Structure formats: C-alpha cells, structure tokens
Amino acid sequence: MKRRPRIGSRVFLGLIYLFLYAPIFIMIVFSFNSSKSRSVWSGFTFEWYAELFQDSTIMSSVSTTIAVSVLAALVATVAGTFAAIGFYNMRRRTSSPFLAINNIPVMNADIVTGVSLCLLFVSLGSILKYQLGFGTLLIAHITFNIPYVILSVLPKLRQMDKNLVDAAMDLGCTWFQAFYKVIIPEIMPGIINGMMIAFTMSIDDFVISYFTAGSKVQTLSMTIYAMTRKRISPKINAVSTLLFLFILMLLVIINVRQIRQEEREKKLKSK
C-alpha cells in the first residue's frame, strides 16, 4: 500500500509553493489596480493593459521577441534534429564526449554564455565590419537552443526500432525516402517538444539577449528591465502578467503532450 503524505510534509510543500508563486500572484492582482500604487488597492481596471498595447516601444520589442523566438526555434529544431541523428548513428565511445560537450551550454550559467558570445561577436565584428544587432541576437538564440532540441529528439531515436529503416530500404526506399517516411514520423513527438522548448527558452531569455543584441535592438525582457531602471510603471505588471501566462500555457501544452505520449507508449506495450 502507498503511504499517504503526512500533514507536516503537505504544509511544508504548501509553504514552498506559497513562497514561489505569491509574488507572481500579487503582480497579477496589481496589474488590474486602477492607481499607480504598488501597495494600496484602489479598484479594478484594464487601463494598464490598454496603455500597454498603445506603447510603441513595448509593441516593437514584442515583435522583435516573437521574430527571434520563431526563427531561432525553427533553425535550432532543424540543426538539432540532424545533430541528434548524427549522435545516434555514432558509436557509444565516440558520441559520449560530444554529448558531454552538448550538455555544457545547458548547465552553464547564462551570463558566461552571454559574455562569451558578446566577445566573439565583437572580435569578429572588427574584422568583418558589422555591429551587434538582430543578426547576432538570432545566432545567439540558435546557439543556446540547439542543445535542448538534441536532448528532446535523442531519446525518441533510441526508442525507435532500428530494423524499421532497414526494412524500408529492403522494400525499395532510398535512404532519403526512409528518412522522411520512417525516421521523421517516429521521432516527430520529440521534434515538436524540442521546438516548443526552444521557443519557450528563447522568448524567456534576458541575459544572453542583453549581451548580444546591441543598442538598436531590444527584446521584451530587455524593455521590461529598462522600464524598471527608470520608474516602476503599472504597465510592467501588465506585460509581465501576459508573459507569465503565455509561458505557462506553453509549458502546459508541452507537459500534456508528454503525458499523452507516455500513455500511448504504455498502451502499445500492453498490446
């Protein structure tokens, strides 16, 4: 029989969740406050959300963030998928060092990655005569997104039956036909999950974007940071609330997809 969690453990777990999410809940509540006060509730309003969508600086940063996140996620998904297939076809002794290197950007501090990429872009810019901007920002996002795609696709490749490709080629398929008719459908859940994770990581990034975007391009997180340095506007609560809800929605979709995939795999195994 499974032991039920004790009351003390439930209280401790509740305190942890309260500590983590109480500030976010307060931020969401005060994004609807009719006054600019950060401590006194004066009434319910959508005024700050209306002003938010009329702010040209914020909307420009939103469009930049979406463009960078979508492009980075697409490019990283393609590159990461082919890299994962390459790792899968290597021998274990050969692939292990490369996988260890692939895990470094995931475990590395964002500020180290951001400063390193900034130094690289600045040094190359003095030679190739370019400045930090949208291009360097996009390359930086692709760079730190690729390892997440590899880590999402590689488990699906390992779960795939190796005989499927050989059987397809024995039946007359070329390697390319076997690739997009057999391999891609088998690992498609991992590809989609990797793309969604890459998009989420990209849209949520601040540190690496701060060091690689330059002075002419700003993402949404950089705009929020600049707003907090001048004065705390209620619009910050509104835009932070929308960003939190959007990322929460993406995480829910990713988790639901993974749960459904696990249930399908269990059903197939039981048959």
Per-residue pLDDT for 149 more than 90? yes
- pLDDT band at residue 260, thresholds of 50, 70 and 90? confident
pLDDT above 60 for 109: yes
Say what the pLDDT of residue 224 is: 83
pTM across the whole model? 0.81
pLDDT at 209 (0 to 100) = 92
| Residues 166-179 as b or e (16 or more Cβ within 10 Å = b) | eebeeeebeeeebe
Q: Could you give the number of structural domains in the chain?
A: 1
Identify any residues that bridge with 44 across adjacent strands, giving them in sequence order. 33
Residue 78 has what pLDDT?
94
CA distance 141 to 69: 8
**Considering the chain, what is the average pLDDT of its residues?**
85
Q: What percent of the chain has pLDDT over 90?
A: 23
At 144 the pLDDT is 92
| Domain-embedded: residue 220 | yes
Question: Quick one: pLDDT at residue 55?
Answer: 82
Domain that holds residue 75: 53-90+107-270
Unique residue bearing structure tokens 């209280």: 11
32 occurs within a structural domain: no
Average the pLDDT over 210-235 and give the result.
Answer: 83
What is the C-alpha radius of gyration for the chain, rounded to an integer number of angstroms? 23
Domain membership of residue 222 (yes or no) is yes
5-57 pLDDT, tens per residue? Answer: 577 778 888 888 888 888 888 888 888 888 777 777 788 888 888 888 888 88
| Segment 180-194, tens digit of pLDDT | 888 888 888 889 889
> Is 44 contained in some domain?
no
230 in a structural domain: yes
Measure CA 26 to chain center: 25
The pLDDT tens digits for 48-101 are: 888 888 888 888 888 999 999 999 999 999 999 999 988 888 888 888 888 888
pLDDT on residue 2:
52
Considering the domain boundaries, does residue 118 fall inside one?
A: yes
Q: 187 with 160: CB under 8 angstroms?
A: yes
**111 lies in some domain:** yes
The pLDDT of residue 76: 95
Measured CA to CA, the distance from residue 184 to residue 180 in angstroms comes to 5
CATH code of the domain in which 226 resides: 1.10.3720.10
Q: What is the arithmetic mean of pLDDT over 228-241?
A: 79
On whether residue 185 sits in a domain, the answer given is: yes
